[in-house]
Amino acid sequence: MSADVYLTRKIEFSASHLYHNPNLSAEENRRIFGKCNNPHGHGHNYTLEVTIAGEPDPVTGMVLDLKRLKEILQREVMERMDHKHLNFEVPELEGKIPTCENIARVIWQLLEPKITLGKLHRVRLYESPDLFADCYRNGGNRAGN
Amino acid sequence: MSSALKIELGRRYHFSSSHRLHSAQLSEEENQRVFGKCNNPYGHGHNYVVEVSLSGEVDPATGMIANIADLDTFVEQQFLEEFDHKSLNEDVPAFREKVPTTENLCIEIYRRMKAFPNARVERVRIQETGNNSFEYSRENSEGN
């Protein structure tokens, strides 16, 4: 039986993006992506929730120090994405459409190797309060909701 | 650690409906006892928030599990139009014989969402109020 505890830290960042696939015609781009295809882009206030699973250390009572997690999120996510244009300024998203799905996956890939205490359980990225994507390792989605 | 990454798309929808919790299989007294103020014959209403989670491949051409516009249209046709600003008891045939609790509403919406052609529905979560929420998932449905 696992005694894992799930802790979640939330951060917010603001970024611009647009959806455009250069392999599709202008018409197809408009049809598929609608107003998200505006060539001048648009922006969102993104909310990121990062959930870490692990057993609390018997001495500190912590899975990992939230200060440490805050620093990782600052370095890996805020500095890369806050007040940036996701299409042009984030190398990890180059060649990808910066949808919630793709950004959540990139954030997972950036964070996972940095989480050395506990393990990354879920990344949830809200583009708006009504639209979000979850990323996790297959089979690990049930807890921490 | 080497298992594949899984991505889910979550979308929230809002509708407002009235309902009355009342079972034809129970006496008036039992209905009162079981359902309390929710048994008020004139009904009452909620602002429901439905959260639908979908899984599937992220299409490399679009970066999407499912096109949001397609999903919104499907949801509109499947239940939003039918439920919004209606009485679940009186206006929705699915609840003629079934008590329109939010548990049953979860199962009904999950069942309807299963027909969405472009992705797999993982779970339906409904907030009846800010303090009550209910969830029904593929795991429950398929007994995994």
Which residue out of B8, B28, B81, B85 is catalytically annotated? B85
What domains are defined for chain B?
8-142 (3.30.479.10)
In single-letter form, the type of residue at position B112 comes to: R
pLDDT, tens digit, for every residue of B124-144? 999 999 999 999 998 878 865
pLDDT at B20 over 70: yes
pLDDT value at position B2? Answer: 54
CB contact under 8 A, A32 and B67: yes
Contact flag B58-A102 (C-beta cutoff 8 Å): yes
The closest of A78, A128, A123 to A105, measured between CA atoms, is: A123
ipTM of the complex: 0.87
- Tens digits of per-residue pLDDT, A59-109? 989 999 999 999 999 999 999 999 999 999 999 999 999 999 999 999 999
Inspect the interface and report whether the beta carbons of A32 and B62 lie closer than 8 Å. Answer: yes
Catalytic residues of A: 36, 83, 127
What ranges do the domains of chain A cover? 5-135
Which of A21, A32, A133 minimises the CB distance to B10?
Answer: A133
Q: Any idea what DSSP says for residue B37?
A: G
| B54 contacts B117 by C-beta, under 8 angstroms | no
Q: What is the pLDDT of residue A69?
A: 96
Q: Report the distance separating Cα A68 and Cα A94, nearest Å.
A: 28
Share of chain B above pLDDT 70, in %: 97
Two tokens, residue B5 = 């990454």
Top residue of A37, A134, A138, A145 to mutate, by most chain B CBs within 10 Å, is: A134
The beta-carbon neighbor of B5 closest among A108, A129, A132 is: A108
Q: What's the mean per-residue pLDDT of chain B?
A: 94
Confidence of residue A140 (pLDDT cuts 50, 70, 90): low
Check residue B105 and give its pLDDT: 97
**pLDDT tens string B28-68:** 999 999 999 999 999 999 999 999 999 999 999 999 999 99
Check pLDDT > 60 for residue B8. Answer: yes
Query: Measuring CA to CA, how many Å separate A137 from each of B2, B19, B66, B74, B138?
Result: 8, 39, 20, 29, 17
Contacts of A119 in chain B (CB under 8 A): 1
The CATH number of A5-135, from 3.40.50.620, 3.40.50.960, 3.60.21.10, 3.30.479.10, is 3.30.479.10
CB crowding B85-95: b at 16 or more within 10 Å, else e? ebbbbeebebb
